[in-house]
Structures are given as structure tokens and as C-alpha cells.
Amino acid sequence: MAVLAGTLCPLRPAGRCVVRSAAVADAPLVLDCAREVFQTSQYTLTCADEFTLTLDEEAAFIASLESHPRQIMLVAYDEPAAGEAPDQFTGILVLKQNTSRRKLRHSVDLGMSVRSTHRGRAVGSALLGRAVEWARAHPDLRQITLAVYAANAPGLALYRRLGFVEHGRLPDGLIHDDGRCWEQVLMHLMVEPLTRPASR
């Protein structure tokens, strides 16, 4: 995985955030951010009580992404004062391959989480923009795929704004513990045109 150095991105209504690739040493802050998101958002696949990763397991997960040529984790945090380290992450994004099959190695799945205090402040835009740049520069990647709640209007708007297109819907794709059923929207972004076989 190529290391992405920190880039400053504007926030709404003011301020800036840093977006960079994650390192193993970031595991405590990644865990803290993930736990907060799972506790405060209904639009995640993971329920809060299901997220049981230990610090060692999170560090191992980040290390596995670091060592993989076609995977990356990005983190975002408020621009710190000079010489200071961030005290929390405000967003996390992962581009990951969920299979080792060669016919699918051109595609990565996207997952993104933003801390409740920073939703609507352009953290997601900053993370997603950097992720798309990274994927476009990667010689082996052709597409990014994702699934998002149909009810997640801000998420859908962000993905569409960055060029993702809908290719399907899964009615009752998710069923919550209270019995409510939620539709999923399946989307993709082509980061490089595919070479298609000539039609016969």
C-alpha cells in the first residue's frame, strides 16, 4: 500500500482537517472513532455490541491493509496545533478487497464512517476525494463499489457528487433488531475504463 501523506482539506463552516493513510500506531484512535460511530449511527452494517475488536486485532487489521498492494485505510482529524498530535479521529475510510480471486482484483469495496460531531462538515467529502484520487492513480484498480442505506440521503448525495452511480437496489437488504427493514442502494465508480472483449 502506498503511504498517503497528510493533506489539509476545508471543513464546514470553518477550519481544516488532515487526511492521511493510517499507521499501526493509530489503532487506539481508530478503535475509539469506530466505537463512537457504531453507537451513534443507524446507517452502519455493524451494531455497537458486535464491534469487539481488541487493540491488538485492530493493529493487525491496519497492518494487513498496509502490506496489501491494493488496499488502504484513510483517517481524518481536525488540524492540530503545531507540534501536537491528534487526540481523536473524526472519520475513517477503508478500501478493501474481500476476495483473493484474480478476476475481481480490479475492484475494491468502500466503507466510510464519520464521527457524530463532524457529520455534515465535509469530512466525508475529504476522505472520499482522497480515496478516489488514490484509486485513480493505482495501476491495477478499475472500480470502487459500495452499498448504502437508501434512507441515508446525505450519504447518497455525497457519493453521487463524487461520480458514483447506482446499479441496483436490494429491498429489505438490512433488517434491524426492532424488525424494521431497510433498502440498500448498490453503487460503483469506474476509476479507469475497463477493456471489454469485442462483441461477437
Examine residue 151 and state whether it is found in any structural domain, yes or no. Answer: no
In a domain, 177, yes or no: no
Determine the Cα–Cα distance for residues 56 and 123; give it in Å rounded to an integer.
Answer: 27
Residue 81 belongs to domain with CATH number:
3.40.630.30
| Interatomic CA distance for residues 45 and 173, integer angstroms | 11
Residue 29 placed within a domain: yes
Is the omega angle on the peptide bond into residue 139 within 30 degrees of 0, that is, cis?
A: no
Q: In this structure, is residue 128 part of a structural domain?
A: yes
Please tell me whether the overall predicted TM-score, pTM, comes out greater than 0.75 for this model.
Answer: yes
Share of the chain residues as helix, strand and coil, in percent rounded to the nearest 5: 30, 30, 40
Q: What is the pLDDT along the chain (200 residues), one digit of tens a residue?
A: 567 889 999 999 999 999 999 999 999 999 999 999 999 999 999 999 999 999 999 999 999 999 999 999 999 999 999 889 999 999 999 999 988 899 999 999 999 999 999 999 999 999 999 999 999 999 999 999 999 999 999 999 999 999 999 999 999 999 999 999 999 999 999 998 655 555 55
CB atoms within 10 A of CB 52: 7
**How many separate domains does the chain show?**
1
In angstroms, what CA-CA distances link 28 with 7, 23, 38, 41, 58?
A: 21, 11, 16, 20, 8
Q: Residues of 172-184 as b/e, b for ≥16 C-beta within 10 angstroms?
A: ebbeeeeeeebeb
Residue 189 lies in a domain: no
Radius of gyration, CA atoms only, the chain: 17
Q: What is the distance, to the nearest Å, from the Cα of residue 78 to the centroid of all Cα atoms in its chain?
A: 18
Domain range enclosing 26: 7-143
Number of H helices, E strands in the chain: 4, 8
Calpha distance 110→102 (Å, rounded): 19
